[in-house]
Amino acid sequence: MDSLKKLFENFNRLKVLIIGDAMVDAYVWGQVERISPEAPVPVVTVNKKEDRPGGAANVALNIKAMGAMPVLCTMTGKDEAGKKFVSLMKKNGLPVNGIITSNERVTTVKTRVIGNRHQLMRVDEETLLDLSKKESHAFIGSLRKMISTVKPHVIIFEDYDKGLITPEVISAVMAMASNSGIPVAVDPKKKNFHHYKGATLFKPNLKELREGLKLDSLSHENLNKNTELKKFISRHQIKQLIVTLSDHGVYYSAKGKSEIIPAHVRNISDVSGAGDTVISVAALCLAMNCHPSYTAALANLAGGLVCEKVGVVPVNKNQLMEEAHREGLV
């Protein structure tokens, strides 16, 4: 327990730069007691509405919850949702000096309708266009300034395919990180899947891995034997790979070793945001130079814990430490 406490205490001194899409997570909570006479859909009687900082901001919330200092670098639209996002960041004690505003974009809003503690529907308002040359130049300049002033212990790419993270942005940041000796953890999506060459840690889920490698037959059962996956790791010089497998746990591959770490039995309420928690805890372990198997095991545990909550919520540090102790992760 002493070594576990020491690790969790050391998280408090880390600074983490997060690059990713800004979103407002809007929630409509209510009860369902009947089906609409207009269509075969449930009628939700609303009793609460709530807004939370979402997207890459949820990674920032997880980093903060673990005791480290997150700095989110992102871009919002010059709109009401953008103002709300900044306000939510401040309300949650997150710095806003890495946020820049664009006249050309809209701020993503994801509205989740939840009835009887189950998500019934999600409505997305967003743009998926890549940054213009002007926006890209401004964003890369902002990133260069933030990296030099913050001096982060680790950088996280939290990619949602909304157009903020482009090959140009990735290339510029990877070069800056390499020159400064900063490890880079990546939570990828399909569009930029093959652009993160040299990533220290690469964390897709199984669906994203299938899409990225164009291998529909890929499953948790044949990951270890798949030659295309091994070629991908080698070709892209990825030092650690973690693949989240939902109720099958996580697969990791690093330093010539690979295995599946099974999921823990949970009372699953909502899987929203679990990937954000996994990359957050994994990145902190990466900054602390933890063994890859330990990194995967602790991140797996953390991702499972947040699935017991409804909505996108950050991990509870004390609960994670207690459960890690019970599972013998010392």
Q: Is residue 179 helix, strand or coil? A: helix
**Active-site residue (options: 130, 159, 270, 276):** 276
Q: Which residues contact 76 (CB under 8 A, 6 or more apart)?
A: 22, 82, 85, 86, 99, 100, 101, 102, 105, 107
**CA distances for 33 relative to 38, 47, 58, 72, 311, angstroms:** 15, 13, 32, 41, 21
CA pair distance 174, 143, nearest whole angstrom: 11
Q: Are strands 250-254 and 15-20 parallel, antiparallel or unpaired?
A: unpaired
**CA distances for 74 relative to 95, 159, 247, 281, 329, angstroms:** 12, 11, 31, 20, 34
**CA distances for 72 relative to 3, 61, 197, 205, 282, angstroms:** 30, 10, 22, 22, 17
CA pair distance 169, 12, nearest whole angstrom: 29
Q: Quote the radius of gyration of the chain (alpha carbons, Å).
A: 20
| DSSP state string for 222-273 | TGGG-HHHHHHHHHTT-SEEEEE-GGG-EEEEETTEEEEEPPPP---S--TT
DSSP 210: H
Note if 130 is an active site residue: no
CA pair distance 179, 140, nearest whole angstrom: 16
| DSSP state string for 13-28 | G-EEEEEE-EEEEEEE
Residues with catalytic function:
276
